[in-house]
Structure 1
């Protein structure tokens, strides 16, 4: 069990980490000596090894099933003492965060902030008022389906995004259209405190190949050098992050997903919690500890390992068919989110994540793609 130690003027304590997957947060907690109690859909080997205790929560098709979630919370923290950091998985149901906050301290942005960010009408209006470039959003049938995406509000990981067709033109309260923009999918990892907003680093995302749930499923990402973006683009995104942080009163780690094309960029969405790519910038310094400090009236700063010429990429491997890992299964050392031997998967399920680190983004991405295909070949022989 990790031993808590001082960080700044805060005594780092045990923490309850909750989300669809919290493995990267657990690893970050371990670096800081924070005792992690983990709740997610997988409770994989990496999570179990670096947490004090972990439990698996049931999935409801979009996020965490409420009955299972709160039963697991009570089991891990019966005395209601642990502060909570949440990851992705609450976008469609922020009320769960609100309910957790009734009995526990949330080291995260409020449920009301999350709800407003995931309300496409409110978010679109705010972005427009702040003068931040963004794709057009519509709530009725667009004039042409060829340049529009059809989205469900509160979706995450690209699971509820597809290209619009002529049959999609009726919107409910949960559906909307967003203008399609081609280009680099660039994520900014941002640390917000009461004194400043700091972009820690940028990363480029890509979509999974041939996934049964659509063409926009999260496939992976690679850390970028800040110099890989034009200086005016970088400055504009930094300014947008500061405007958004001031408007929503963000604290801790948040992420901005953008599209960059030549000398233009557009904001797609904002996640007011640690995103899927923060770990690509993390070295020995715990980003989770900095996130927690920001909610305790502290003003930490962070440095991306890209500043030292270290670029990491990760790539999610999904099952292409139903399979079960044999009892003697062994993962390569560069794999994380490792499932235990004997675990079964259905087509489309995430199986593991491959990682690679190199001296440039290009080399890291090429290396992780090779490792991705190696794992695909390994599991392709299983049934």
Structure 2
């Protein structure tokens, strides 16, 4: 396992671990990353089956190609990621395949209140701002605002076909500097009304399938949409396992196994979702921790920072997870667990 953070639970589960060099949102040190991958590969008795990439590579197709030159990529390849994450190319693909998509441009926009400024290849929502004056800065673009609630359809893709894994509703945790910061996602209980009406979901999945066939999408991916009544817009496709993996990975067959199989051309059918609802939410640090105090993390906490590491104010501290009989109960449990954790951290630090 190789990432930027080295969370305690990640290292506990990994057979081997190396920390990547770089900074989240600002890019990865490519040569050093490939060297760390080689170190990890040398720990095993056999050659690795391949590499599963997470977030951080959307704007780095050259780095993806360097990795692909040494190891099989289990998931979308550099050309697919480049097409889906380049704003102009993705918008053109959507137009060509009849998929509704908000308008994009790099030119100055006449009404800034009707547009957002985004970083190409950005993730997590922290890169999204209200539109600024003049042309978009290098590496950024403007996207037209559209109404609706945020919904993500997670799929497995192979050979131009897709299978739906699950549908989640998402929400933001605005901060003064990051008004569109991603917060969490929820999969409803099986007995609740579906997040999307069947006809609308089928329409969206058909559009995603056309794009998957056009780009060679493979493995797990998520299609982020804004839905307003019968209208919908595909805002982006994340061609990798995403933030909803914890919420959706509750079947007998691990989703990572299905991801690897789909990447190798074997597209399986995910099992039905469990009866209960499930949700995860990022807990952002209300104050800075330098360092993180020793703490016995509750079982519902994921992505646990190691004692002695630093977490800046407003940075992600950890991820909370909850299940419940329905959506309302699950969201209430998340709120309660967030409050419980903040009290525990305050008591550990010795101040209210």
State if a TM-score over 0.5 links the two structures. yes
- Aligned equivalents of 2:129, 2:171: Cα separation in 1: 15
Is the 1:108–1:295 Cα contact (8 Å) retained in structure 2?
yes
Q: 1:290: how far off?
A: 0.7
CA-to-partner distance for each residue in 1:64-84, whole Å, 9 max, x for gaps?
222431231122124893211
The correspondence for 1:137, drawn from 93, 104, 111, is 104
Is the 2:156–2:267 Cα contact (8 Å) retained in structure 1?
no
Task: Specify the alignment match of 1:41 in structure 2.
Answer: 4
Task: Specify the alignment match of 2:141 in structure 1.
Answer: 176
Task: Specify the alignment match of 1:368 in structure 2.
Answer: 334
Is the 1:187–1:257 Cα contact (8 Å) retained in structure 2?
yes
- Secondary structure in 2 aligned to 1:75? helix
Task: Specify the alignment match of 2:93 in structure 1.
Answer: 126
CA-to-partner distance for each residue in 1:246-302, whole Å, 9 max, x for gaps?
111222111101111122111000111111113312223211111111122323111
Match status 1:153 vs 2:120: yes
- Aligned equivalents of 1:69, 1:304: Cα separation in 2: 37
Structure 1 unaligned runs (5+)?
A: 1-37
TM-score, normalization by structure 2: 0.90
Match status 1:198 vs 2:131: no
The correspondence for 1:298, drawn from 266, 278, 296, is 266
Task: Count the aligned residue pairs.
Answer: 340
Q: 1:59: how far off?
A: 2.3
The correspondence for 1:276, drawn from 220, 243, 253, is 243
- Aligned equivalents of 2:129, 2:343: Cα separation in 1: 28
Alignment of 1:308-327 (within 5 A): 308-323=274-289, 324-327=291-294
- Aligned equivalents of 1:63, 1:348: Cα separation in 2: 20
Alignment of 1:92-131 (within 5 A): 92-131=59-98
Structure 2 unaligned runs (5+)?
A: none
Task: Specify the alignment match of 1:62 in structure 2.
Answer: 26
Task: Specify the alignment match of 1:379 in structure 2.
Answer: 345
Is the 1:195–1:299 Cα contact (8 Å) retained in structure 2?
no
Is the 1:190–1:241 Cα contact (8 Å) retained in structure 2?
no
Q: 1:195: how far off?
A: 7.0
- Aligned equivalents of 1:338, 1:296: Cα separation in 2: 32
CA spacing shift, 1:213–1:379, aligned 2, 3 Å: farther
Task: Specify the alignment match of 1:15 in structure 2.
Answer: none
- Aligned equivalents of 1:44, 1:73: Cα separation in 2: 18
Q: 1:349: how far off?
A: 2.1
CA spacing shift, 1:332–1:314, aligned 2, 3 Å: same
Match status 1:336 vs 2:302: yes
- Secondary structure in 2 aligned to 1:53? coil
CA RMSD of superposed structures (Å): 2.0
Task: Specify the alignment match of 1:263 in structure 2.
Answer: 230
- Secondary structure in 1 aligned to 2:99? coil
- Secondary structure in 1 aligned to 2:194? helix
TM-score, normalization by structure 1: 0.83
Q: 1:157: how far off?
A: 0.9
- Aligned equivalents of 1:195, 1:319: Cα separation in 2: 41
Q: 1:228: how far off?
A: 2.6
Alignment of 1:231-270 (within 5 A): 231-270=198-237
Is the 2:160–2:210 Cα contact (8 Å) retained in structure 1?
no
- Aligned equivalents of 2:228, 2:335: Cα separation in 1: 23
Is the 2:160–2:217 Cα contact (8 Å) retained in structure 1?
no
Is the 1:315–1:372 Cα contact (8 Å) retained in structure 2?
no
Q: 1:172: how far off?
A: 4.1
Which deviates further from its counterpart, 78-87 or 248-257?
78-87
- Aligned equivalents of 1:297, 1:251: Cα separation in 2: 8
- Secondary structure in 2 aligned to 1:86? coil
Task: Specify the alignment match of 1:221 in structure 2.
Answer: 185
Q: 1:364: how far off?
A: 1.3
